[in-house]
């Protein structure tokens, strides 16, 4: 009598979507990240005012219906600048993380599949890269090639390569030992196909989680470089640059410093929450309940 009841009580795994909407951090982080992304896309087509247009007559205006978030010392609309700044940050994040994943993940896979010299070389090279903080690398690069968005993105992206190479190698090593991979190797499937068809889908989750976190770090690093004047150059607005300009006006226009900083902090917070949430949702070890209940039957 009790037997069939027990069987029907075995829960199938709760669908990802349902678990996701019950995770407050994931929902909040996802919403913030989506908002920033949409703002960034919108800024490509439309901003309330042109961001490079100076209008000294309307300088340092407070919040109003004409200028929702006021204007800066050149009379530029703060909301428009923040929107374009969002676009700038998202671009930096995408390229820097893309560079890290695009170069780092193949290197990590290669290191996992070819133990020995290649693996050792990749690991030692990434050790070395860890000794160079992103900001110092950027400092070196901008010292020679001059400041600018492209150079700062490259500097931040280079730093991401060892992060993804190490992570990919670490998670691939265990997959490489799995029976289905051994089976594929034994039947003569070419290594590239094994990497793409059998390994990549299984290591995607930790890569996605790490990508979210590195995205946030890239935004922070770019803001720091722009604050120092080494990143995005005027007249193109960026959150870091806006903070730098605002610092001299703290005594009479504190809002100019508060708004761009808050934009950075909220964006990074959103990405971190999203990353933590994804980790909770994608990590099988933390997937609550279902495993225990299954084993008890």
Element at 84 (helix H, strand E): helix 78-113
CA distance 152 to 24: 34
Using CB under 8 A, pick the residue from 11, 62, 133, 190 that binds another protein.
133
Q: Closest distance between another protein and the C-beta of residue 218, in Å? A: 12
Q: Closest distance between another protein and the C-beta of residue 64, in Å? A: 23
Contacts with another protein: how many residues (CB under 8 A)? 41
Using CB under 8 A, pick the residue from 11, 266, 283, 293 that binds another protein.
266
Dihedral sign of CA atoms 61, 63, 66, 69 in order: positive
Asked if 136 and 155 count as a contact pair (C-beta separation under 8 A), the reply is: no
CA distance 253 to 240: 17
Contact flag: residue 131 with another protein (CB under 8 A): yes
Comparing CB distances to another protein, the nearer of 106 and 261 is: 261
Binding mask 84-123 for another protein (x = CB under 8 A): ---------------------------------------x
> Segment near another protein (CB under 8 A), from 86-94, 192-200, 202-210, 269-277?
269-277
Distance of alpha carbon 292 from the chain centroid: 33
Comparing CB distances to another protein, the nearer of 90 and 184 is: 90
Count of C-beta atoms within a 10 Å radius of residue 252: 8
SS3 percent helix, strand, coil of the chain, rounded to 5, is 75, 0, 25
Q: What DSSP line would sit under 183-247, residue for residue?
A: HHHHTT--HHHIIIIIIHHHHHHHHHHHHHHHHHHHHHHHHHHHHTTSSSPTTS--HHHHHHHHH
CA distance 69 to 65: 9
Comparing CB distances to another protein, the nearer of 58 and 249 is: 249
Q: Closest distance between another protein and the C-beta of residue 183, in Å? A: 27
Q: Closest distance between another protein and the C-beta of residue 230, in Å? A: 7
Contact flag: residue 10 with another protein (CB under 8 A): no
Residue list 138-197, contact with another protein (CB under 8 A): 139-145
Which residues lie near another protein (CB under 8 A)?
123, 127-128, 130-136, 139-145, 216, 220, 223-224, 227-228, 230, 243, 246-247, 250-251, 254, 257-258, 260-261, 264-266, 268-269, 272-273
């Amino acid at each position: 009598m009790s037997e069939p009841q027990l069987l029907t009580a075995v829960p199938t795994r709760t669908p990802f979507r349902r678990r996701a909407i019950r995770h407050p951090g994931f929902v909040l982080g996802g919403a913030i990240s989506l908002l920033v992304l949409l703002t960034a896309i919108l800024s490509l087509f439309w901003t309330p005012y042109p961001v490079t247009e100076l209008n000294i007559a309307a300088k340092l205006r407070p919040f109003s219906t004409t200028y929702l978030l006021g204007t800066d010392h050149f009379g530029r609309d703060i909301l428009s600048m923040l929107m374009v700044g969002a676009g700038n940050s998202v671009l930096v994040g995408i390229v820097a993380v893309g560079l890290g994943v695009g170069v780092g993940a193949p290197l990590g896979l290669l290191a996992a599949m070819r133990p020995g010299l290649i693996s050792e070389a990749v690991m030692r090279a990434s050790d070395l890269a860890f000794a160079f903080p992103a900001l110092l690398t950027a400092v070196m690069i901008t010292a020679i090639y001059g400041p600018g968005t492209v150079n700062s993105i490259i500097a931040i992206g280079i730093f991401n390569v060892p992060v993804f190479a190490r992570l990919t190698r670490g998670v691939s090593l265990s997959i490489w030992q799995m029976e289905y991979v051994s089976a594929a190797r034994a039947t003569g499937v070419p290594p590239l196909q094994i990497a793409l068809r059998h390994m990549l889908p299984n290591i995607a989750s930790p890569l996605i989680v790490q990508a979210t976190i590195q995205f946030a770090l890239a935004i922070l690093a770019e803001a720091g470089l722009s604050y120092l004047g080494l990143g995005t150059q005027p007249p193109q607005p960026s959150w870091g640059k806006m903070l730098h300009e605002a610092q001299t006006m703290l005594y009479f226009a504190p809002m100019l410093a508060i708004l761009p900083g808050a934009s950075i902090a909220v964006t990074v917070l959103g990405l971190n929450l999203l990353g933590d949430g994804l980790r909770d949702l994608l990590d099988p070890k933390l997937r609550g309940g279902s495993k225990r209940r299954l084993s008890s039957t």
